[in-house]
Amino acid sequence: MAVRYDPSQFPPFAVTVDLVVLTIRDETPDELSVLLVDRGSAPHKGRPALPGGFTHVDEDIEAAAYRELEEEAGLQRREVHLEQLRTYGAPRRDPRMRVVSVAWLALGASLPEPTAGSDAAGARWVPLSQALESRLAFDHATILADGVERARAKLEYTGLATAFVGRTFTVADLRRVYETVWGTTLDPGNFHRKVTGVPGFLQATDQQTAGTRGRPAVLYRRVRTTSLNPPVMRPGS
């Protein structure tokens, strides 16, 4: 009953992963930053691009995303939140051959400049507004825009914002994430009541900030949470 299959009868594709890596950097805390590389070879040589690369033939596509994150950005698996974004497969998006790209969204707390040592010498953080203006290679402008939109949308109804802060954080830290990602300002008091009032959203530690100006703030820990109901409302929407 076993039938022999000849793989060559099926159209050959290359499968790549492309990464939209977003963080909020201490240097530019009012804006998202995205990790870009410069293409070292044709096509689009010299143009900025999203980090990424070819999936190996025996490698899970999610594993390929983590591997590229490590190779091109020096980021460990545990430092980032990674989720699949969308797959881009227009026939001529890469002029060399037929390439289908599975794009991923990676989020992390103020991530380090990747240039120090490692393979990731070509990668750098670019403020989002600047990245959107630059002429990215391939269809990477579309992928980047889709990734940012996904992040913005998911802040509303999930705990995704905690991916942008460290292991422990204050309510104000979390509020600044929302403000940065959405480009808005939020009322500190109302935000505090909202996020501390949703059961299971945040877990208070017994620690507080010290050495800062003003009243010390309680430190909270991330909680694995899927949905946030009712959502945090995005102003003017």
Partner DNA sequence: AGAATAGTGTCTTTCAGACATTATGTT
Partner DNA sequence: AACATAATGTCTGAAAGACACTATTCT
Residue ranges that bind DNA, judged by CB under 7 A: 170-172, 187-190, 192-194, 196-197, 208, 210-218, 230, 233, 235
Among a copy of itself, DNA, none, the one that 116 touches (CB under a kind-dependent 5 to 8 A) is none
Among a copy of itself, DNA, none, the one that 235 touches (CB under a kind-dependent 5 to 8 A) is DNA
Q: 3-class DSSP state for residue 25? A: coil
Closest CA to 137 of 150, 152, 122: 122
Q: Is residue 34 within 8 Å of 16, Cβ to Cβ?
A: no
- Cα distance between residue 35 and residue 114, in whole Å: 9
> CB of 199: closest distance to a copy of itself in angstroms?
14
- Which residue spans within 122-167 are E strands per DSSP? 124-127
The answer to whether residue 98 forms part of the interface with a copy of itself (CB under 8 A) is yes
Residues contacting residue 93 through CB under 8 Å, at least 6 positions apart: 99, 101, 138, 139
Which member of 59, 70, 79, 179 binds a copy of itself (CB under 8 A)?
59
Residues 154-193 that bind a copy of itself (CB under 8 A): 157
Smaller CB separation from DNA, 107 or 174: 174
- Cα distance between residue 131 and residue 134, in whole Å: 5
* DSSP secondary structure letter of residue 76: -
β-strand partners of 84:
104
> CB of 156: closest distance to DNA in angstroms?
11
> CB of 150: closest distance to DNA in angstroms?
21
Binding footprint of a copy of itself on the chain (CB under 8 A): 1-3, 5, 7, 10-15, 41-42, 45, 54-62, 84, 86-87, 89-91, 96-98, 100, 102, 157, 227, 229, 237
